[in-house]
Structure 1
Amino acid sequence: MKQLVFATALAIGSLGTITATETTPIFHDGIMEGIFAQDFSEIKIEALPEEITAALAKNFPGASISQAFVNEEAEYKLIVTSETGEEMELYADAEGNWLDM
């Protein structure tokens, strides 16, 4: 029993040693998975590739971009307000393809 308690304490204690560059483990249904943090940096809306703004106009007519971000993989995060005033987060690659993130 002491060994089980000790092994559990070691396992839980090792979770605190994860650095920001590693994945953060989560547990659900007894399975551990990693969550990858997406580091997006804000950019000017004018710096977005034309393909993204064209895709937005085509797929979300009347929507406007209030903020834009990019990560190291050239994936873009957009904070968009629809015609009805609903705010949403959209993700796209540099070619204007929508991403599920």
Structure 2
Amino acid sequence: MKKLMVAAAIIFGSLSIYAITNKPFENVKIEANLQTEYTEISLDSIPAVVKTAVEKAYPGAKLEKAYINEKKEYKLDLSVGDQKATVYTDVNGNWLK
């Protein structure tokens, strides 16, 4: 009789494993910002506000190249010693990324 009770407990216990309910997937919204194309410009055409912002944030950094897009956002390639970085700013000198 004991074996019958233990067998019944094992069977009922194993059946409860399948009683787990799966939650349906939630809809996930993914947004991707398409980066507009930047065109290279001369370093002389960068506004003074942007140059001042670079000098304040990165003292001693040298502007290597500058690019602009349709939204008047600047992509600036900087170098400090042997390190290089790319930063993004708007026309008012506010950092974008």
Q: TM-score, normalised by structure 2?
A: 0.66
Q: Distance in 1 between matches of 2:54 and 2:74?
A: 12
> What is the SS of the residue equivalent to 1:81?
strand
Find 1:62's aligned residue among 54, 60, 63. 60
Bigger share in strand: 1
Give aligned-pair identity as a percent: 31
CA distance in 1, matches of 2:72, 2:84: 23
What letter corresponds to residue 74 of structure 1 in structure 2?
Answer: K
2:73 match: 75
Question: Are 2:69 and 1:92 equivalent residues in the alignment?
Answer: no
Which one-letter code corresponds to 1:50 in the other structure?
Answer: A
Shift of 1:38: 2.1
Structure 1 residue runs without a partner (length 5+): 1-29
Paired residues, what number?
A: 70
Contact 2:62 2:78 in 1 (8 A): yes
Q: Which has the higher helix share?
A: 2
CA RMSD, Structure 1 to Structure 2 (Å): 1.4
Question: What pairs with 1:12-91 in structure 2 (closer than 5 Å)?
Answer: 33-82=31-80, 84-91=81-88
Q: Which runs of 5+ in 2 are unaligned?
A: 1-27
Structure 1 residue 32, shift from structure 2 partner: 5.3
- The higher radius of gyration belongs to 2
Contact kept in structure 1, 2:76 and 2:88, CA below 8 Å? yes
- TM-score (normalised: structure 1): 0.63
* 1:36–1:55 CA distance, 2 compared to 1 (3 A): same
